[in-house]
């Protein structure tokens, strides 16, 4: 009875977006819970059905996005606006401050320091946010009250600093394993990982192979982040519940689907960082693991998206693990 009640409470939280989205988002959340709690095997045939349901949910979310944000996109797309110039900054964020970083985050932070080249590396924290951007009171208040989650607050911050200053955004759990091709990235108004290889449970996440918010950049006069910033402010001023966890992915997809200029910017971005999602599962494997060696030797991936919520081994079969290696070189 309690579980049924929780389902209805969950569905009710989405009701403002219409019955179809409320129902399908609830089903989607249950699917994610079943998969990540390992109640369903990864290669189960039922995942085929799950994938179809998730795709249907995303279709309804996209329609809602188009209905609510196409007008804003057209306004920004058509106006001749003076856009901010771009600075050579790599942005990361850990709100609690550097001294509160888990070990894997410290490793990632040091990897950026080591490979930042001529770029300034700024780590945003709770104490210095106001030095760089002005956060609307309603967004800040809703975040402090827990209405806006840390993940979605972070979405607003990353979009805002890229709109305001430009540069490169890397999540705090992104390891920069070698200097990025900075000069090449600067040739593109916007840039991000694109053409990412398939990975476990990727069907759960909208457009995950083509656009990821953990690695973004703006150089030049792209209006992408201006649109995303305005859209987020419009949304959170009116609503108290995210329509989708990957809300930002949906907005970015809408932008490049409806705007010819932003579509052209997106199409110009070369495929890059194919293995960005693959290193995480290898952290507790020996450094001699052929999968790790293949990724490193291919030379096609500079960044790796890691996760700070799990523990990793330092040795396996008497061999140094990938995690221990990264820890050693990025002290």
pLDDT of residue 44: 67
Decide: helix, strand or coil at residue 225: helix
What per-residue confidence (pLDDT) applies to 41? 64
> Per-residue pLDDT for 329 more than 90?
yes
Among 4, 43, 45, CA closest to 26 = 4
pTM exceeds 0.75 for this model = yes
Residue 11 included in any domain = no
Give the domain range for residue 108. 41-331
What is the sign of the dihedral through the CA atoms of 189, 195, 201 and 206? positive
Confidence of residue 9 (pLDDT cuts 50, 70, 90): confident
Q: How far is CA 225 from CA 171, 219, 231, 245, in A?
A: 17, 11, 10, 19
Please report, for the domain that includes residue 139, its CATH number.
3.90.550
Integer CA distances (angstroms), 100 to 160, 184, 214, 331, in order: 24, 34, 20, 16
Number of residues that this document lists for the chain? 331
Name the pLDDT band for 40 (thresholds 50, 70, 90): low
pLDDT of residue 273: 97
Question: For the chain, how many structural domains are there in total?
Answer: 1
Is 156 a domain residue?
yes
Task: Confirm whether 7 is domain-assigned.
Answer: no
Is 22 a member of any domain?
A: no
Q: Is residue 106 part of a domain?
A: yes
Q: Which residues pair with 88 in a beta bridge?
A: none
Q: Residues 265-323: pLDDT tens digits?
A: 999 999 999 999 999 999 999 999 999 999 999 999 999 999 998 899 999 999 999 99
Structure tokens at 301: 């991936």
């Amino acid at each position: 009875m309690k579980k049924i009640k929780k389902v209805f409470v969950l569905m009710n939280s989405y009701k403002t977006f219409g019955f179809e989205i409320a129902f399908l988002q609830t089903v989607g959340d249950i699917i994610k819970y079943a998969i990540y709690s390992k109640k369903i095997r990864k290669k189960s045939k039922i995942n085929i059905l799950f994938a179809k349901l998730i795709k249907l949910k995303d279709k309804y979310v996209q329609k809602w996005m188009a209905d609510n944000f196409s007008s804003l996109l057209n306004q920004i797309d058509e106006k001749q606006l003076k856009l901010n110039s771009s600075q050579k900054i790599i942005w990361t964020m850990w709100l609690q401050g550097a001294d509160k970083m888990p070990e894997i985050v410290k490793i990632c932070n040091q990897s950026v320091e080591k490979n930042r080249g001529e770029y300034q590396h700024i780590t945003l924290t709770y104490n210095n946010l106001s030095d760089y951007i002005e956060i609307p009171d309603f967004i800040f208040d809703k975040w402090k009250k827990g209405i806006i989650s840390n993940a979605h607050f972070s979405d607003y911050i990353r979009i805002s600093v890229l709109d305001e200053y430009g540069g490169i955004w890397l999540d705090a759990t992104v390891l920069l394993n070698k200097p990025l091709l900075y000069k090449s990235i600067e040739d593109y108004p916007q840039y991000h990982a694109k053409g990412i290889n398939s990975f476990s449970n990727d069907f759960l996440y909208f457009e995950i192979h083509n656009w990821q918010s953990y690695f973004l950049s703006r150089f030049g006069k792209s209006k992408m982040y201006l649109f995303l910033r305005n859209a987020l402010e419009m949304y959170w001023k009116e609503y108290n519940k995210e329509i989708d966890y990957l809300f930002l992915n949906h907005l970015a997809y809408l932008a490049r689907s409806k705007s010819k200029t932003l579509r052209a910017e997106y199409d110009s971005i070369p495929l890059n960082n194919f293995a960005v999602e693959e290193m995480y599962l290898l952290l507790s494997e020996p450094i001699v693991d052929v999968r790790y060696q293949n990724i490193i030797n291919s030379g096609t991936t500079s960044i790796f998206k890691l996760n700070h919520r799990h523990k990793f081994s330092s040795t396996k079969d008497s061999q140094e693990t990938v995690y221990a290696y990264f820890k050693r070189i990025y002290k």
